[in-house]
């Protein structure tokens, strides 16, 4: 058994590490976007402009903590904390390397799905509590979008569960010794990726906050650190979805021996994050109803086909042996 | 007067006189090459109907008022205090006609013509706002460019033009409350219901500060969920009294104001203004100046369309292209800066020519650009226009037909997207465009996507024109030697007193342009832009009317956005390509 102190160390470093990573990611994304968009991005504060990440945090923390007088005050403050908490909780089940994880639950995957679902509340509640028409529209959109994409997200990983025979993320990684699930479960991966973007509501699926339509959507009325928490929650979500994707489709920490496992995990996650940024730089935003029909008319059938095929092949293999 | 009215126009006037025997048409001599007729108030509607239905004058191109009370040169004109001017254009016959109605201050009203042309709605409101002319039968004759709380009618000659002629402005708390209360939207004023039997509508204020309205522009949306039931566009936030300023600036010093009307099109705004004055003063422009003007105007068309292209795809959510297009535009501004010394607002055209000759080495800059740009356009085409999400967002969205476009005063790319094959540059060439070889892109569906396609293709055609300018730049003077535009040469002013006096008068007062009226229309970046100038024989314009394309384009928004979603409205707005300064002047 792992001793208690070790677990505390991991909890602390996960908390500290992910939040710092999320803050730095804001800077990193802007640099990367700048690179792809023929411009510089933030490059003045500190080496490569990395100081901007910390300057941003300082700015957000020192801003006036304003709650609009017309809003529903308790929920207005409660909403942004939900997303932070839910996303951070999600990291509890991520196995970074053999032995380096907070908890190896036997329902880890379900736990992750549950936590990301909780994050929907923050968007919905934030939108409702603001008592602002743009925020309301954003909140409504996000409720519809996230609830529907949740369905495929859950279903898309079931193929992996069938193949590995477990909900535990550690077991899932171990089941990929020979072949990453991204190969055998490509459809599942594809749907999970799309649903993951929708879940973190980033471009092209940023309809709840679609700047060009709804100003800032559900967080129109938010400023200061409460806005910061939404922002941080979004980036934590990106990191979380990327780490889970690494874990269940790209063999987690598995990799050639010349580097430590945790490095492989970090590298794979990092590449996936870059892919998220690239998507943002490249793809336009579909209309809300187009997004919904894509979900129900394309994604759902794809997921079901994937499930049936996986199940069928598994049964067939069983009858063979 | 120098006007040449050709036989067809004479026939038209003859036809009208024969058709309406009871009316005494008064034909006014102007510097234009089309007729101007005075019609009595009670016959106005029947004459307009006849012109629209029988003579193929499909479009109410402009409607404006003139305060004639202090005008000196009025011989041969009917007695009038306020004149309402109707400018009609036929796109099939390639003709214009201007009708005028004389009104006395004591009976300053005439019937509204909204039933005939729906775009008269805003024009009539503007005429009421600016001159206090009442249009009977107008459904909502309220202020449009000035705030609802404004006192007086700004373009009347007795209304002050300068801040120093008025009480000092003070924004007290009460005043601010009053102004804000005046801005409150009351659905009942617009004949809207707050709810129907199924649902209670939400009224959403899109603007005046919203990321997608491209400036200070407010649209009030009546929403059922996210579906737009109706919309009320509200303009005037960017109004700077450009027409009023025209009445207190000399002919020359007004040029910089024109740059700022369609602020993306730079010197292209100077073009109709200076051409109009040249026509009135009888100045012939040397060939080199003409070609330089065309080259600069087309460079600015490319710059403006690049802004459209970038912001258009940005508004449908594609984040990156706008940066590529703005980099190309920067490059373009580099060339414009090398030639004119300024970037966005060079104010570089002059009456009779341009401000300076082209600098050494301009050929290389321009040639590099026209060689570089087509490749970029191919790249953008793949990235944006062929993107399936962009197509899904724009195809079949915001559709209007050819007939609707003509009824609502839509010009430029918006009109060409509905299948009207008309470009002022090709079909009614001005300023030397008849010497150039280019195509006019026409599309037929009339949706947002087609409007974008027209503009994208226009960039390529503009590059073609620029290349022809480059290859065939004539030698010679870059400005006319006419005494109204260029000071006499120094060696002559030192020798005879007459020339010295001319020099002194022209430099200190500015040129005196002969009395009369003239209008010049050009194919500007966003549609057709017209300057309609009236000189009373002074150093300043008596009336400067600027017909801008964006004004009627915005008026049409409710028509094409009903029943669509907010996201579609954003695509429609992006596809119109408007500039608020061009709307509000």
Single out the residue in B158, B179, B198 at which a domain terminates. Answer: B158
Using the predicted structure, report yes or no on whether residue A207 has a pLDDT greater than 70. Answer: no
Same domain, B135 and B251: no
Q: How many domains does chain B have?
A: 2
Q: How many domains does chain A have?
A: 1
A89 is a domain residue: yes
A136 is a domain residue: yes
A212 is a domain residue: yes
Angle (CA) B169 B172 B176, round 5°: 100
CA atoms within 13 A on the CB side of A203: 23
Average pLDDT along chain A: 82
**Is the sign of the CA dihedral A284, A289, A292, A293 positive or negative?**
negative
Using the predicted structure, report yes or no on whether residue B337 has a pLDDT greater than 80. Answer: yes
Q: CB within 8 A of B564, min separation 6: which ones?
A: B227, B228, B397, B398, B572
Considering the entire predicted model, what is its pTM?
Answer: 0.85
CATH number at residue B154: 3.30.460.80
B187 is a domain residue: no
Least confident of A67-71, B179-183, B490-494, B534-538: B490-494
Structure tokens at B358: 């082209």
At residue B23, the pLDDT reads 67
Q: How far is B222 from chain A (nearest CA, A)?
A: 12
A304 is a domain residue: yes
Residue among A4, A41, A75, A26 at smallest CA distance from A231: A26
Region A199-208: mean pLDDT is 72
A178 is a domain residue: yes
Tally of residues, chain A: 321
B398 is a domain residue: yes
- Tens digits of per-residue pLDDT, B373-398? 999 899 899 888 888 888 888 888 88
Concatenating the DSSP letter of every residue in A264-309 gives HHHHHHHHHHHHHHHHHHH-PPPPHHHHHHHIIIIIHHHHHHHHHH
Same domain, B108 and B251: no
B235 is a domain residue: no
A204:B390 CB<8 A = no
DSSP character for B234? Answer: E
Using the predicted structure, report yes or no on whether residue A39 has a pLDDT greater than 50. Answer: yes
Q: A202 and A235 in contact (C-beta within 8 Å)?
A: no
pLDDT band at B294 (very low <50, low <70, confident <90, very high): very high
Same domain, B147 and B254: no
Domain that holds residue A278: 68-320
B190 is a domain residue: no
| Contact with chain B for residue A285, Cβ under 8 A | yes
- Tens digits of per-residue pLDDT, B318-328? 888 888 999 89
CATH number at residue B250: 1.10.645.10
Structure tokens at A84: 């932070």
B317:A204 CB<8 A = yes
Region A235-249: mean pLDDT is 88
A35 is a domain residue: no
Residue of B nearest to A290 (CA): B392
Single out the residue in B110, B132, B158 at which a domain terminates. Answer: B158
Coil, helix or strand at residue B540: strand
pLDDT band at B2 (very low <50, low <70, confident <90, very high): very low
| Contact with chain A for residue B418, Cβ under 8 A | no
A28 is a domain residue: no
Coil, helix or strand at residue A4: helix
A13 is a domain residue: no
Q: B567 and B221 in contact (C-beta within 8 Å)?
A: no
Same domain, B318 and B439: yes
Residue B289 burial by Cβ neighbours in a 10 Å radius (0-12, 13-18, 19+)? buried
B364 is a domain residue: no
Same domain, B436 and B560: yes
- Scanning A11-70 for CB atoms below 8 A from B yields 33, 36-39
pLDDT band at A187 (very low <50, low <70, confident <90, very high): confident
Coil, helix or strand at residue B180: helix
Using the predicted structure, report yes or no on whether residue A146 has a pLDDT greater than 60. Answer: yes
Domain that holds residue B407: 245-359+390-584
What does the alpha-carbon distance between residue A112 and residue A94 come to, in Å, rounded to a whole number? 9
Residue B153 burial by Cβ neighbours in a 10 Å radius (0-12, 13-18, 19+)? buried
| Contact with chain A for residue B566, Cβ under 8 A | yes
B211:A284 CB<8 A = no
B195 is a domain residue: no
B342 is a domain residue: yes
Of A215, A281, A283, the CB nearest to B389: A283
- Scanning A113-152 for CB atoms below 8 A from B yields 133-134, 137
Q: CB within 8 A of B316, min separation 6: which ones?
A: A212, A284, A285, B389, B390, B393, B394, B570, B571, B574
User: In angstroms, what CA-CA distances link A17 with A20, A25, A141?
Assistant: 5, 12, 32
Using the predicted structure, report yes or no on whether residue B269 has a pLDDT greater than 60. Answer: yes
Coil, helix or strand at residue B177: helix
Q: Taking the CB of residue B545, how many other CB atoms lie within 10 A of it?
A: 23
Q: How far is B198 from chain A (nearest CA, A)?
A: 19
Same domain, B11 and B126: yes
- Tens digits of per-residue pLDDT, B203-246? 888 878 887 777 788 888 888 877 888 888 888 888 988 999 98
Region B525-531: mean pLDDT is 91
Using the predicted structure, report yes or no on whether residue B3 has a pLDDT greater than 60. Answer: no
Single out the residue in B158, B193, B224 at which a domain terminates. Answer: B158
Structure tokens at B90: 């036929």
Q: CB within 8 A of A87, min separation 6: which ones?
A: A115, A116, A119, A233, A236, A237, A240
Q: B89 and B56 in contact (C-beta within 8 Å)?
A: no
Q: B67 and B102 in contact (C-beta within 8 Å)?
A: no
pLDDT band at B305 (very low <50, low <70, confident <90, very high): very high
Kind and range of the H or E run holding B482: none
B567:A288 CB<8 A = yes
């Amino acid at each position: 058994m792992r001793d208690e102190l070790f677990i505390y160390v991991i909890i602390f470093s996960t908390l500290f590490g992910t939040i710092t990573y999320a803050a730095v990611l804001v800077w990193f994304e802007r640099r990367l976007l700048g690179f792809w968009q023929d411009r510089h991005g933030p490059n003045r504060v500190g080496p490569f402009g990395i100081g901007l990440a910390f300057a941003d945090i300082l700015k957000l923390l020192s801003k006036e903590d304003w709650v609009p007088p017309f809003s529903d005050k308790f929920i207005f403050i409660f909403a942004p904390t939900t997303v932070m908490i839910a996303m951070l909780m999600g990291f509890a089940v991520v196995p970074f390397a053999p032995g380096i994880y907070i908890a190896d639950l036997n329902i880890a995957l379900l736990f992750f799905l549950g936590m990301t679902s909780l994050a929907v509340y923050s968007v919905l509640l934030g939108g409702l509590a603001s008592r602002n028409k743009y925020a309301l529209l954003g909140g409504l959109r996000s409720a519809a979008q996230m609830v529907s994409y949740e369905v495929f997200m859950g279903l898309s990983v079931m193929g992996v569960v069938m193949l590995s025979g477990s909900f535990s993320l550690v077991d899932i990684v171990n089941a990929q010794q020979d072949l990453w699930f991204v190969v055998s479960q490509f459809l599942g991966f594809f749907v999970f990726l799309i649903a993951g973007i929708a879940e973190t509501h980033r471009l092209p699926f940023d309809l709840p906050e679609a700047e060009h339509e709804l100003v800032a959507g559900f967080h129109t009325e938010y400023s200061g650190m409460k806005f910061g928490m939404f922002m941080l929650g979004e980036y934590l979500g990106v990191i979380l979805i990327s780490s889970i994707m690494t874990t269940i489709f790209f063999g987690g920490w598995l990799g050639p021996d010349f580097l430590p496992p945790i490095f492989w995990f970090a590298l794979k996650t990092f590449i996936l994050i870059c892919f998220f940024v690239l998507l943002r730089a490249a793809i336009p935003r579909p209309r809300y109803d187009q997004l919904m029909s894509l979900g129900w008319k394309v994604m759902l059938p794809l997921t079901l086909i994937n499930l049936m095929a996986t199940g069928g092949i598994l049964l067939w293999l069983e009858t063979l042996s | 007067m120098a006007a040449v009215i050709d036989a067809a126009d004479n026939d038209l006037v003859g036809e009208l006189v024969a058709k309406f025997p009871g009316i005494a048409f008064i034909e006014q001599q102007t510097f234009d090459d089309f007729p101007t007729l005075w019609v009595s108030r009670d016959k106005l509607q029947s004459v307009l109907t006849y012109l629209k239905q029988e003579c193929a004058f499909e479009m109410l191109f402009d409607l404006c008022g003139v305060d004639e009370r202090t005008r000196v040169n009025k011989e041969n004109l009917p007695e009038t205090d306020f004149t309402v001017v109707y400018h009609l254009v036929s796109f099939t016959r390639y003709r214009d006609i201007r009708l005028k109605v004389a009104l006395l201050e004591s009976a300053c009203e005439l019937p509204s013509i909204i039933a005939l042309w729906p775009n008269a709605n805003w024009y009539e409101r503007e005429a009421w706002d600016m001159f206090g002319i009442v249009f009977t039968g107008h459904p909502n004759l309220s202020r449009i460019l000035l705030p609802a709380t404004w006192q007086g009618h700004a373009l009347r000659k007795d209304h002050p033009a300068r801040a120093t002629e008025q009480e000092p402005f003070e924004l007290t708390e009460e005043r601010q409350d009053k102004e804000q209360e005046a801005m409150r939207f009351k659905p009942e004023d617009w004949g809207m219901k707050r709810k129907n039997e199924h649902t209670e509508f939400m009224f959403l204020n899109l603007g005046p500060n919203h990321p997608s309205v491209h400036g200070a522009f407010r649209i009030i949306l009546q929403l059922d969920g996210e579906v737009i039931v109706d919309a009320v566009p509200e303009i005037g936030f960017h109004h700077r009294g450009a027409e009023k300023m025209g009445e207190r600036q000399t002919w020359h010093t007004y040029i910089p104001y024109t740059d700022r009307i369609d602020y993306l099109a730079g010197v292209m705004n100077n073009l109709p203004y200076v051409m109009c004055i040249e026509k009135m003063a009888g100045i012939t422009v040397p060939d080199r100046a003409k070609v330089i003007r065309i080259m600069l105007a087309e460079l600015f068309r490319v710059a403006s369309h690049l802004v459209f292209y970038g912001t258009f795809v940005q508004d449908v959510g594609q984040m990156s292209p706008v940066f590529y297009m703005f980099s190309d535009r920067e490059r373009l501004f580099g060339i414009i800066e090398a030639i004119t010394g300024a970037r966005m607002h060079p104010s570089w055209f002059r009456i009779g020519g341009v401000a300076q000759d082209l600098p050494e080495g301009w050929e290389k800059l321009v040639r590099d650009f026209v060689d570089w740009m087509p490749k970029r356009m191919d790249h953008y085409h793949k990235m944006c226009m062929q993107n399936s999400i962009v197509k899904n967002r724009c195809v079949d969205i915001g559709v209007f037909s050819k007939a609707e476009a003509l009824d609502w005063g839509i010009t430029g790319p918006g009109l060409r997207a509905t299948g009207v094959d008309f470009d002022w540059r090709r079909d009614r060439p001005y300023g030397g465009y008849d010497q150039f070889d280019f195509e006019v892109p026409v599309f037929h569906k009339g949706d947002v996507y087609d409007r974008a396609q027209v503009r994208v293709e226009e960039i390529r055609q503009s590059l073609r024109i620029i290349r022809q300018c480059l290859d065939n730049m004539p030698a010679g003077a870059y400005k006319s030697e006419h005494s109204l535009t260029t000071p006499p040469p120094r060696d002559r002013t030192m020798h005879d007193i007459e020339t010295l006096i001319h020099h002194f008068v022209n430099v200190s007062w500015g040129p005196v342009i002969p009395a009369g009226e003239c209008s010049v229309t050009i194919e500007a970046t966003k549609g057709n832009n017209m300057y309609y100038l009236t000189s009373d024989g002074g150093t300043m314009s008596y009336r400067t009317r600027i017909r801008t394309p964006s004004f009627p384009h915005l008026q049409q928004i409710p028509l094409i956005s009903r029943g669509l979603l907010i996201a579609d409205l954003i695509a429609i707005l992006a596809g119109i390509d408007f500039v608020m300064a061009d709307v509000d002047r």
